[in-house]
């Protein structure tokens, strides 16, 4: 008699700055997701946030769910703190798409996306390593919502329009919001309510 398979498990995480979005393969003793919580075997990150990025990260033991969330059917919204006061022209360039960025050594044109300046700036707590202070010039915040997700795409997009990203926080995946989840906090959920 075959054993019944265990139900899939799902987690919502606020990935802190300085952590890798992985569980194994620890180059130079970097901090990994498994350092935050004892996740069950077979847990995988759905998409990734690079080491310097923070925010909403979904984890699951369900490969089909992972594939769906990474598809172009699900929006991902990011708040980026950029160097300088972002201009309406730069926002329009981000929205229009067609920015040429490099992905896996191949040039890639971005798709149109939603972008807007954030005023006032979001009230995130200071991260573990401070971005910089006002002596180095002004910064501003922009919201960028994508349905694609190339490696370091938001950072490459803001740099392409002349406003390099200093801090990046993913705040939404579908209908799931980062909300008041504290940095490093993990919540197990029954399912992901994405639509």
Q: How confident is the model at residue 194 (pLDDT cuts 50, 70, 90)?
A: confident
Does the 10-71+176-189 domain belong in CATH 3.30.70.580?
A: yes
Model confidence at 11: pLDDT above 50: yes
For residue 106, what are the β-bridge partners? 103
Q: CA neighbours within 13 Å on the CB side: how many for 24?
A: 4
What is the arithmetic mean of pLDDT over 29-45?
A: 89
* Domain boundaries of the chain, sorted by first residue: 10-71+176-189, 76-173
Pairing of strands 139-146, 165-173: unpaired
Model confidence at 47: pLDDT above 90: no
Catalytic residue status for 35: no
pLDDT tens profile 136-167: 789 999 999 998 878 889 999 999 999 999 99
Question: Cα–Cα distance between 40 and 8 in angstroms, integer?
Answer: 10
Q: What is the third-level CATH fold of 76-173?
A: Alpha-Beta Plaits (3.30.70)
Mean per-residue pLDDT over the chain, rounded: 88
What is the arithmetic mean of pLDDT over 70-95?
A: 93
What is the arithmetic mean of pLDDT over 54-61?
A: 94
Which of 48, 84, 178 minimizes the C-alpha distance to 125?
178
Annotated catalytic residue, options 35, 50, 62, 134: 50
Which of 104, 115, 112 minimizes the C-alpha distance to 158?
115
How high is the pLDDT of residue 23? 83
Query: Comparing 10-71+176-189 with 76-173, is the CATH topology the same?
Result: yes
Give the position of tokens 């990260």.
Answer: 57
Q: pTM for the full model? A: 0.91
How high is the pLDDT of residue 26? 64
How high is the pLDDT of residue 22? 85
């Amino acid at each position: 008699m075959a054993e019944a398979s265990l139900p899939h498990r799902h987690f919502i995480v606020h990935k802190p700055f300085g952590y890798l979005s992985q569980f194994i393969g620890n180059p130079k003793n970097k901090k990994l997701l498994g350092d935050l919580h004892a996740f069950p075997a077979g847990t995988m990150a759905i998409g990734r946030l690079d080491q310097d990025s923070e925010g909403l990260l979904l984890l699951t033991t369900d490969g089909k769910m992972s594939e769906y969330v990474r598809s172009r059917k699900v929006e991902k919204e990011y708040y980026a703190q950029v160097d300088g006061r972002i201009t309406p022209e730069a926002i329009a360039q981000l929205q229009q798409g067609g920015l040429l960025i490099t992905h896996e050594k191949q040039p890639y044109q971005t798709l149109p996306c939603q972008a807007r300046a954030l005023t006032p700036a979001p009230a995130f707590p200071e991260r573990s390593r401070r971005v910089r202070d006002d002596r180095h010039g002004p910064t501003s915040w922009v919201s960028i919502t994508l349905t694609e997700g190339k490696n370091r795409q938001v950072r490459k997009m803001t740099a392409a329009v002349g406003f390099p990203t200093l801090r990046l926080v993913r705040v939404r995946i579908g209908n799931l919001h980062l909300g008041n989840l504290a940095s490093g906090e993990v919540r197990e959920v029954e399912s992901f309510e994405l639509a």
